[in-house]
Amino acid sequence: MIERVAQRYANDAPDSAAGYGAGSAALFIDAEGCLSIFAALVRLAGLAEDLDLDGPFTILAPSDRAFHALGRAGLQWLMSDEELLVDVMEFHVLVGEASFAISDRRTSLARTLQGEATTCALSDGRGSVGNARVLRAVRVSNGVVCISDAVLSPKFGQARGSSHALRWQRFVDGKS
CATH for 19: 2.30.180.10
pTM of the model: 0.76
Considering the chain, what is the average pLDDT of its residues? 75
Of 98 and 132, the structure prediction assigns the larger pLDDT to 132
- Quick: pLDDT tens for 60-106: 999 999 999 988 988 998 899 888 899 889 989 988 876 555 445 56
Beta bridge partners of 30: none
Domain count, the chain: 1
CA distance 61 to 81: 20
What is the domain extent for residue 79? 2-175
Q: What is the reported pLDDT for 62?
A: 95
Beta-carbon contacts of residue 113 (< 8 Å; ≥ 6 apart): 50, 57, 90, 91, 93, 94, 95
